[in-house]
């Protein structure tokens, strides 16, 4: 009898029952003098004892400003120490931190402020082309519940801290004692394919345990130093980065306010980081730096590559040239806190390049027929579903949209096409919505992308389906060349594919690009590629 595509993560390590604040207290008690947070750009550093003191100062300031359990506090900022302080201070008092995409413009900001009912906002003053003050002023008239805005680095931030002068340590402790690990603590707006984004609502239990077990899979200890160039706004930064670190006594190193390949490698070298995070495009940018070979990366042993499919050729270079022999692939989504499957330290290169790992402890997964919901035999492609402690509480104030994503059995439907292998490892073969149907043949872009990464003239590639009168859809390869002066031609790409791929999988169209449209969390916006280059 064929095994079904179902697996669950058994473990002798129990789930944590702490709130985030209580878990931080454990870390401070165990490692008070070890570094918890380093901001390379400003040169500021905190030991665990100092970090906890700064968190408590901000928590008292929030209480003194009238913030109470369940109130929504927005954080609209690039990566900086204050972002991390807000994360832990809101958790300390039971306020719900709302992550706001730093790339949002005024109308998007207004939507989130209203939809979440944010009463207090902490924001950057400006970054690159964004004047956050001006954008807040444009959005504010539409947001009557927003009563206070504090900007990082100016007098309004100092006023927020000063508001806690009359709040005693015992009052803060009493507030924390009233919290449950199942309380909502975080809202993250996921990129909507239609309409406005949805606010995935996560609890202490969701994100603390996910960060902890991701860290366990990477064998983190208090001796690890994690370079986090991915945005805190997303689960990759604040859960897999911050919470994985503090639940193990490790140190978070912020290389720059937003991703900068050279700044990232300087931080790894200067801070002797043992772990480095990134989406594939970040690692590609680092490897392609003209002076890449001059950086001392010998301190690295591990890290995470996630956010989008990880090209085999890039993974091989990361292992061989960045000293990351224990690098891990993680798969998940915001609605699942985020990680559901992960490769392990002991996994061989095939499993780290050909799969997204095995199910994490205390989580269930299954692969189902998208049309019927019936669990498929192992080895067959279908929709990946996940269930367990990591599944969100729901979309904030949107029960109907929640019911569309989480079924009656509490299974989260991911929208991803996957295969559960006989050995328990998961292969993601594409998004249901990204699958190309060319002349009646199902084509998975991931397979073609992986193949084209081996082309000597291609540095990065994304494959999408575009409308075609004859076949319904045709295959378009969007390519970033290794040498802009010598890009591949459509004929060269077709010839490269012809002997190795079925004829219907060979890209008939080619676009040469300098960059891909990206979300702030590092995922390529394939919808823009389809719409922009489909003619």
The CATH number assigned to the domain holding 461 equals 3.30.300.30
Residue 446 domain flag: yes
Which string of DSSP letters, residue by residue, matches 202-248?
EEHHHHHHHHHHHHHHTT--TT-EEE--S-TTSHHHIIIIIIHHHTT
- Angle of helix 20-30 relative to helix 81-93, nearest 10 degrees, comes to 120
Spell out a b/e string for 180-213, using b for 16 or more CB atoms within 10 Å of the CB, else e.
ebebbbbbbbbeeeeeebbbbbbbbbbbbbbbbb
- Angle of helix 48-64 relative to helix 169-177, nearest 10 degrees, comes to 90
Range of the domain at 468: 434-533
Is 415:387 a contact under the CB 8 Å cutoff? Answer: no
Structure tokens at 397: 């104030």
CA distances from 73 to 65, 420, 454 (A): 11, 40, 46
Q: Which ranges in 272-360 belong to alpha helices (H)? A: 280-287, 312-321, 349-354
Q: Could you give the CA distance from residue 381 to residue 397 in angstroms, rounded to a whole number?
A: 33
Residue 527 domain flag: yes
Which string of DSSP letters, residue by residue, matches 482-517?
SSTTSPPPHHHHHHHHHTTS-GGGS--EEEE-S---
Task: Look over the chain and give the mean of its residue pLDDT values, rounded to a whole number.
Answer: 94
Sign of CA dihedral 118, 119, 124, 127: positive
Is 370:432 a contact under the CB 8 Å cutoff? Answer: yes
pLDDT at 193: 37
Which residues are 532's β-sheet partners?
Answer: none
Contacts of residues 135-141 at CB distance under 8 Å and 24 or more positions apart, as own/partner, are 135/104, 135/105, 135/106, 135/109, 136/109, 138/106, 138/110, 139/106, 139/107, 139/109, 139/110, 139/113
Residue 73 domain flag: no
| Model pLDDT for residues 127-160, shown as the tens digit of each residue | 888 899 999 999 999 999 999 999 999 999 999 9
| DSSP structure class, residue 154 | S
Phi, psi for 3 (deg, rounded to 5): -70, 145
Q: Could you give the CA distance from residue 464 to residue 458 in angstroms, rounded to a whole number?
A: 16
pLDDT by residue for the chain (535 residues), tens digit each?
A: 679 999 999 999 999 999 999 999 999 999 999 999 999 999 999 999 999 999 999 999 999 999 999 999 999 999 999 999 999 999 999 999 999 988 888 888 999 999 999 999 999 999 888 899 999 999 999 999 999 999 999 999 999 999 999 999 999 999 999 999 999 999 999 864 335 689 999 999 999 999 999 999 999 999 999 999 999 999 999 999 999 999 999 999 999 999 999 999 999 999 999 999 998 889 989 999 999 999 999 999 999 998 776 777 888 899 999 999 999 999 999 999 999 999 998 998 889 888 999 999 999 999 999 989 999 999 999 999 999 999 999 999 999 999 999 999 999 999 999 999 999 999 998 878 788 888 777 788 888 998 899 999 999 999 999 988 888 889 999 999 999 999 999 999 999 998 778 888 999 999 999 999 987 666 788 889 988 886 6
- Indicate the number of domains in the chain: 1
Q: Tally the C-alpha atoms within 13 A of residue 352's C-alpha that lie toward its C-beta.
A: 23
533 Cα distance to chain centroid: 27
Q: Which DSSP helix (H) or strand (E) runs through 528?
A: helix 526-533
Q: Which ranges in 355-484 belong to alpha helices (H)? A: 399-405, 445-452
Radius of gyration in angstroms for the set of CA atoms belonging to the chain, rounded to a whole number: 23
Closest CA to 250 of 200, 303, 322: 303
Sign of CA dihedral 516, 519, 523, 529: negative
287 Cα distance to chain centroid: 21
Phi, psi for 478 (deg, rounded to 5): -100, 120
Residue 488 domain flag: yes
pTM (2 d.p.): 0.87
Instruction: Tell me the Ramachandran region of residue 46: left when phi exceeds 0, alpha when psi lies from -120 to 50, beta otherwise.
Output: beta
Which residues are 122's β-sheet partners?
Answer: 75, 150
pLDDT at 533: 80
Is 105:79 a contact under the CB 8 Å cutoff? Answer: no
Residue 6 domain flag: no
């Amino acid at each position: 009898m064929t095994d079904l595509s179902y697996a669950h993560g058994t473990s002798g390590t129990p789930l944590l029952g702490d709130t985030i604040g209580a878990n931080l207290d454990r870390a401070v008690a165990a490692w008070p003098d070890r570094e918890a947070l380093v901001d390379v750009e400003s040169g500021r550093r905190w030991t665990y004892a100092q970090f906890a003191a700064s968190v408590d100062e901000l928590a008292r300031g929030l209480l003194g400003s009238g913030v109470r359990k369940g109130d929504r506090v927005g954080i609209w900022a690039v990566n900086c120490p204050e972002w991390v302080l807000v994360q832990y201070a809101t958790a300390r008092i039971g306020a719900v931190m709302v992550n706001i995409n730093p790339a949002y413009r005024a109308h998007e900001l207004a939507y989130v402020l209203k939809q979440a009912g944010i009463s207090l906002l902490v924001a950057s003053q400006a970054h690159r082309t964004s004047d956050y003050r001006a954008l807040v002023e444009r959005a504010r008239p539409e947001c009557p519940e927003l009563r206070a805005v504090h900007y990082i680095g100016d007098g309004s931030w100092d006023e927020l801290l000063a508001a806690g002068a009359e709040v005693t340590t015992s009052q803060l402790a009493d507030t924390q004692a009233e919290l449950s690990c199942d309380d909502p603590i975080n809202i993250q707006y996921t990129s909507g394919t239609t309409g406005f984004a949805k606010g995935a609502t996560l609890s202490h239990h969701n994100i603390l345990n996910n960060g902890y077990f991701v860290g366990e899979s990477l064998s983190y200890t208090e001796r690890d130093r994690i370079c986090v160039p991915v945005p805190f706004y997303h689960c990759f930064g604040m859960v897999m980065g911050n919470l994985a670190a503090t639940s193990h006594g490790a140190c978070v190193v912020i290389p720059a306010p937003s991703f900068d390949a050279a700044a990232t490698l300087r931080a790894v070298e200067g801070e002797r980081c043992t772990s480095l995070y990134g989406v594939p495009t970040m690692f590609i940018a680092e490897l392609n730096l003209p002076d890449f070979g001059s950086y001392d990366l010998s301190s690295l042993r591990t890290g995470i590559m996630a956010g989008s499919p990880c090209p085999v050729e890039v993974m091989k270079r990361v292992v061989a040239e960045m000293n990351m022999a224990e690098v891990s692939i993680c798969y998940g989504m915001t609605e699942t806190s985020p990680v559901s499957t992960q490769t392990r330290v002991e996994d061989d290169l095939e499993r780290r390049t050909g799969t997204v790992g095995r199910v994490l402890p205390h989580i269930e997964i299954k692969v189902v027929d998208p049309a019927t919901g019936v669990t498929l035999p192992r080895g067959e492609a279908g929709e990946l579903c996940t269930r367990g402690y990591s599944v969100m509480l729901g979309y904030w104030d949107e029960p109907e949209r929640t019911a569309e994503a989480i079924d009656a059995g509490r299974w989260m439907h991911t929208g991803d096409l996957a295969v559960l292998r006989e050995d328990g490892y998961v292969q993601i073969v594409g998004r249901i919505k990204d699958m190309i149907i060319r002349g009646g043949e199902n084509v998975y872009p991931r397979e073609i992308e992986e193949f084209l990464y081996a082309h000597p003239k291609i540095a990065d590639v994304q494959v999408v389906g575009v409308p075609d009168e004859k076949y319904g859809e045709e295959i378009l390869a969007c390519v970033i060349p290794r040498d802009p002066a010598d890009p591949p031609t459509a004929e060269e790409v077709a010839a490269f594919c012809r002997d190795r791929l079925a004829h219907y999988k060979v890209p008939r169209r080619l676009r040469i690009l300098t960059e891909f449209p990206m979300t702030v969390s590092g995922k390529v916006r394939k919808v823009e590629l389809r719409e922009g280059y489909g003619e």
